[in-house]
Structure 1
Amino acid sequence: MARTSESGAGEVTEERGQGQGQGPRKSSWRYIGPGIVVAATGVGAGDLVATLIAGSKFGYTLMWAAAIGCLVKISLAEAAGRWHLATGRTLFDGWRSLGSWTTGYFAVYVVVWGFVYGATAMSSSALPIVALFPGFLGLKTWAIITGLVGLVFVWFNQYAVFEKVMTVLVGVMFVVVVYVAARVGPDAGAAFAGLAPVLPDGSLLYTLGLIGGVGGTITMAAYGYWVNAKGWTNSGWMKVMRLDNRVAYVTTGIFVIAMLIVGAELLHSANIALASGDKGLLDLGDVLEQRFGASTAKLFLVGFFATSFSSLIGVWHGVSLMFADFVERYRKRRKGEGPEDTVEEVASGEAEKSLPFRAYLLWLTFPPIALLFLDQPFGLVIAYGVLGAFFMPFLALTLIWLLNSGRTPREWRNGIVSNVMLAAAGLLFIALCVQQVRELPW
């Protein structure tokens, strides 16, 4: 059923027709939105640090891995968006059709992951604020404040406002990261040479991380939900979604390349090592201050905050939408109701007002505050690591299953290119999964 009045984005979509499959006559840049949201959410401070470290160790040599990573993510997010638009069913509804094991995995994952991620996101958002305003409040206090601000913002605003704020944050991220890369002076010849696939000694894990890790999280699964929340609910929006998705991962690619340049030019040549995790960006701020002065360092910290806080509110919104759909699908199954028009429930904006959506918002915010004052319990760290490592292989392989089956209209099933790219993504994420599990502190 196509909606012809107000979309989940709170805007009138005059371009839609009355029938199933109707949408705008052609794709246009003016529709872009969910791609910006997924780019802002998927690239966190930890991703930027991982890219910096790869650049500091190997210079421009792994530039090719960043380019391949963009292609992999475009294919994966396109598949998630295509499922929503082609079938009129949400991704979780598709997972449910594969068996109850998917429900069990997702239920445990979303509870444990949300508990630990909430604390991580709040701390990451607080770090640059503490660096910008030293001595004024402390890290834990700022972390709690950022979590509460994210909660209030998402609680009282629906997708239209959320998208606009995320667009501003992406703009800040983009300008700052590209500006810093320009300041350090990229070597264009070395950058182009880095597009030739080469694996230096000891670079395999960094290569896999660049291809699969940066911008690749649960937010890729949330992309289809943001597509629906924008008001795109049928296959008539397929061309628009594909353009939007390409914008998302080209933007992500620019972030990755810019940070590789900074790592290669600023750190590799001077043999400077960064701390792992989000604190590595504070180290980079110190290096920038020594090299270019306090103004550049402060500007970088503003970009650091935009990167971290956009991931926070992106997860607060996107994963809460997924959880609301999870609860709604479970409720309908218990009542024996069918899955018809499931995307309409997201597009209408009702999901963002629902009790499950707001309950998960509270779960992401308040229980994790306790982790800010405690070392993470050993068992929780293990569970978080294992469940998180399995999510991306789970997403890639279930999309292959769904989009090659009779659950998807024949016109929109996977072609050879989609199958090859999704299979490659699945194998890549399995390799990353094995490595992540091996590195856990068993």
Structure 2
Amino acid sequence: MSTAPDSAPTRDPYTLTADGVKEPPVGWKASLRYLGPGMILSASIVGSGELIATTALGAKVGFAILWMVIFSTLVKVAVQVELARWTIVTGNPALTGYNKVPPKIGRVSWINILWIVLALSKFLQFGGIVGGVSVAASILIPLGGPPLGTTSVTIWTIFMVILSIVLLYKNSYRLIERGAFALVVIFVFATVVIALGLPMTPFGYGADDLLGGLTFTIPAGAVGAAIAMFGITGVGADEITYYTYWCVEKGYARWVGPNDGTKDWERRAKGWIRVMYKDAIISWVIYTFGTVAFFIMGAAVLHPQGLAPEGNKMITTLSRMYTDTLGQWASIGFLIGAIAVLGSTMWAAIPSWARMYTNILATFGAFDWHRSPVVRLRWIRFFTVIMPIIWGVAFLVLRVPVLMVQIGGVVTGVFLVAVVVAVWYLRKQEVDKRLHGGNWFNAALVISSVAIGLLGIYTLLNVFGFSIGSS
């Protein structure tokens, strides 16, 4: 999607017209060139959740909770796909849909009010991500003082904020998609290879370790970390939400066209929904392998040594996963990789959250989302500038990246329940039954919804001091 400096896109993907339709490809080979939103999703997911939260959990509890790592990546996909189905059919992004779910307070739905709470908590989470990138860069190339000193970390934080703004200000979909692909693939591949090679090192693991992690138990003292991990690994509430924006900007909804009630429209809708299925499946494979690899590395390398990634020493502790298995030379590779993997989260999150903030303004009546593309783009660019600045300030004030990321994860887990409510409401009210998934998908959607609901309730009870069982 190309844009002129001060104008809307030449063909606005959020405007559905009859002349914008395109026949959907048939089969995997023909569909490959139309995939991409899932890669942006993977760039966001294979970042703070995997490198920080999942690894920290593995370091804390060992292999005991491996089952939940796998479960957390798998269980939310059906909800993600169902919301994207609604988007492709209507051409609307998620927050527009959330605002239709009653009850409302004035113009705004209760879900969007809860989203604002989520957005505020994300200042902490993304502040932690900015901090992680800056600390890694400072260790690699100290500026003005020792690697973990205030001066060097501050200089790198300011540099990373400015660099993010400069690179992402244009908000070109094509640029964002290609950058996400480049940042994700290399580091995830290297991490998976290392995790699979650990059995040949002093930090090897065996089948007993893996099987012991599939016993569906949560060790004492690990409940809070596990809940944060569930909210932040795999597709979280924010990723499920902004996946819809990238599906629209890729062109899926525009290629389906406005609903004219014809068989041709139904056929196109089913075809592009199938393409979206493929996109979601590939991204799930990518971030699941990355998630499991990071967890195994934390459990196999850090846990036996009693190491836990905390504070500004998070990056140096995490680097032990590499240096303790490959030697000191690997620390440079890890630092470059850490910058890439955490940077990929920033790369995907900044334009994604800029779109969501802009969309929430539209729900408040600041402008018309569909009819004012020029105004929409200006607001997106405004948030592209202001958000990294706020995140950088949050890190420099607090300087506890692991805790900051985990707090965001807990709130994300709670908001997942609201997303499930919205998905079922929009499915019933606005998705033609002819376009609903088959029996297997519908069963998966029910299981996914129930699991998210139960975990959300459990999270709320723990937040307010109620405990169920031992923790």
TM-score by length of 1: 0.80
1:328 aligns with 2:362: yes
1:150 positional shift: 1.0
Cα pair 1:212 1:428 within 8 Å, conserved = no
1:267 aligns with 2:302: yes
Aligned to 2:261: none
Aligned to 2:378: 355
Aligned to 2:216: 198
Aligned residue for 1:306, secondary structure, equals helix
* Structure 1 counterpart of 2:142, one-letter code: P
Aligned residue for 2:286, secondary structure, equals helix
1:238 positional shift: 0.6
Aligned to 1:296: 330
Aligned residue for 1:89, secondary structure, equals coil
Aligned to 2:128: 120
1:218 aligns with 2:238: yes
Q: Counterparts of 2:312 and 2:424 in 1: how far apart (Å)?
A: 34
1:312 positional shift: 1.0
Cα pair 1:63 1:191 within 8 Å, conserved = no
How many residues are matched? 411
Aligned to 1:364: 387
Aligned residue for 1:138, secondary structure, equals helix
Aligned to 2:260: none
Against the structure 1 CA distance between its residues 8 and 194, is the aligned structure 2 distance closer, same or farther, given a 3 Å change threshold?
A: farther
Cα pair 1:125 1:305 within 8 Å, conserved = yes
1:104 positional shift: 5.4
Aligned to 2:453: 426
Aligned to 2:183: 169
* Structure 2 counterpart of 1:180, one-letter code: I
Aligned to 1:399: 423
- Bigger shift: residues 132-141 or 257-266: 132-141
Q: Counterparts of 1:196 and 1:115 in 2: how far apart (Å)?
A: 34
Listed one character per residue, the Cα deviations across residues 55-100 of structure 1 (whole Å, up to 9, x for unaligned) are 3344333222222222213112212211211233221221121133
* Structure 1 counterpart of 2:232, one-letter code: G
Listed one character per residue, the Cα deviations across residues 158-193 of structure 1 (whole Å, up to 9, x for unaligned) are 010111011010013212322331342254523652
Against the structure 1 CA distance between its residues 21 and 207, is the aligned structure 2 distance closer, same or farther, given a 3 Å change threshold?
A: farther
Unaligned runs of 5+ in 2: 1-8, 145-150, 257-268, 467-471
1:246 aligns with 2:281: yes
Q: Counterparts of 2:411 and 2:167 in 1: how far apart (Å)?
A: 28
Aligned to 2:350: 316
Aligned to 2:156: 142
Cα pair 1:70 1:250 within 8 Å, conserved = no
1:224 positional shift: 0.9
- Bigger shift: residues 282-291 or 303-312: 282-291
Cα pair 2:158 2:392 within 8 Å, conserved = yes
Cα pair 1:66 1:211 within 8 Å, conserved = yes
Against the structure 1 CA distance between its residues 119 and 56, is the aligned structure 2 distance closer, same or farther, given a 3 Å change threshold?
A: closer
Unaligned runs of 5+ in 1: 10-15
Aligned to 2:45: 42
- Bigger shift: residues 41-50 or 307-316: 41-50
Query: Sequence identity of aligned pairs in percent?
Result: 20
- Bigger shift: residues 391-400 or 408-417: 408-417
1:367 positional shift: 3.8
Against the structure 1 CA distance between its residues 399 and 146, is the aligned structure 2 distance closer, same or farther, given a 3 Å change threshold?
A: same
Aligned to 2:26: 25
Aligned residue for 2:233, secondary structure, equals coil
Aligned residue for 1:70, secondary structure, equals helix
* Structure 1 counterpart of 2:25, one-letter code: P
Against the structure 1 CA distance between its residues 373 and 304, is the aligned structure 2 distance closer, same or farther, given a 3 Å change threshold?
A: closer
Q: Counterparts of 1:91 and 1:82 in 2: how far apart (Å)?
A: 11
* Structure 1 counterpart of 2:188, one-letter code: F
* Structure 1 counterpart of 2:117, one-letter code: Y
Aligned to 1:12: none
* Structure 2 counterpart of 1:221, one-letter code: T
Against the structure 1 CA distance between its residues 58 and 141, is the aligned structure 2 distance closer, same or farther, given a 3 Å change threshold?
A: same
- Bigger shift: residues 222-231 or 296-305: 296-305
Q: Counterparts of 2:465 and 2:82 in 1: how far apart (Å)?
A: 29
Cα pair 1:159 1:229 within 8 Å, conserved = yes
Cα pair 2:350 2:387 within 8 Å, conserved = yes
Against the structure 1 CA distance between its residues 72 and 56, is the aligned structure 2 distance closer, same or farther, given a 3 Å change threshold?
A: same
Once the two structures are superposed, the pairs formed by residues 24-103 of structure 1 within 5 Å of their partners are 24-27=25-28, 28-45=31-48, 47-98=50-101, 99=104, 100-102=108-110
Q: Counterparts of 1:102 and 1:299 in 2: how far apart (Å)?
A: 46
1:387 positional shift: 5.8
1:118 positional shift: 4.9
Q: Counterparts of 1:157 and 1:396 in 2: how far apart (Å)?
A: 29
Aligned to 2:173: 159
Against the structure 1 CA distance between its residues 33 and 355, is the aligned structure 2 distance closer, same or farther, given a 3 Å change threshold?
A: same
* Structure 1 counterpart of 2:314, one-letter code: G
Against the structure 1 CA distance between its residues 193 and 124, is the aligned structure 2 distance closer, same or farther, given a 3 Å change threshold?
A: same
Cα pair 1:119 1:371 within 8 Å, conserved = yes
Listed one character per residue, the Cα deviations across residues 208-259 of structure 1 (whole Å, up to 9, x for unaligned) are 4444431324122100111111111132311111111111122111112111
1:128 positional shift: 0.9
Aligned to 1:13: none
1:384 positional shift: 7.4
1:237 aligns with 2:264: no
* Structure 2 counterpart of 1:420, one-letter code: I
- Bigger shift: residues 417-426 or 427-436: 427-436
Aligned to 1:132: 140
Against the structure 1 CA distance between its residues 421 and 53, is the aligned structure 2 distance closer, same or farther, given a 3 Å change threshold?
A: same
Against the structure 1 CA distance between its residues 60 and 316, is the aligned structure 2 distance closer, same or farther, given a 3 Å change threshold?
A: same
* Structure 2 counterpart of 1:406, one-letter code: Q
Cα pair 1:129 1:305 within 8 Å, conserved = yes
- Bigger shift: residues 239-248 or 284-293: 284-293
* Structure 2 counterpart of 1:423, one-letter code: V
